[in-house]
Structure 1
């Protein structure tokens, strides 16, 4: 049986406008763009590859499709908000003014959309 325990992860998100997505993932989120073709924009962040795939039509899912762990969620939110990112609020969830929800484990989580409406997240785990 093949083992993937040491294999790097490739995540996929969809986009109807690759250039707009390239600008967002590069200039706003600060990821390295390693390839740009008419079919996909490939970004690297941490130990993961994100393949932003061109699609003609797209309906965003209402749940998180991609996320990052951060050391300081408040600082990361402030930085991204300064770059024009808006954080999402959800009815029935006790979120701070900045949109942070504290999970039962104590992890702090916030959500934001990419330009196509993919729900992305930040998580600060309890140390």
Structure 2
């Protein structure tokens, strides 16, 4: 029996733990990451443009994932997709929740 392939989009905390869970379940994960921050066997500096159900999704359950890496677009078919871009990608600074922040002279940052 062929292993089911899973597209994991994002290789930060959520993505890496998803890859681990896929491996534990005997699935075949392929992790896509836009940046080159973490080393390993991932497809780095790959932009994922879309993930959509294939025309035969009702019978196959498969997805088409469109990516681009080094100027080359590619369409791959996966049995599942895990979107693991997380909330750590973009700064979330709810400064309005901190009365007096405009007077604070120290440094604050997203974490």
TM-score, normalised relative to structure 2: 0.30
TM-score, normalised relative to structure 1: 0.27
Work out which of the two has the higher radius of gyration on C-alpha atoms and give 1 or 2.
2
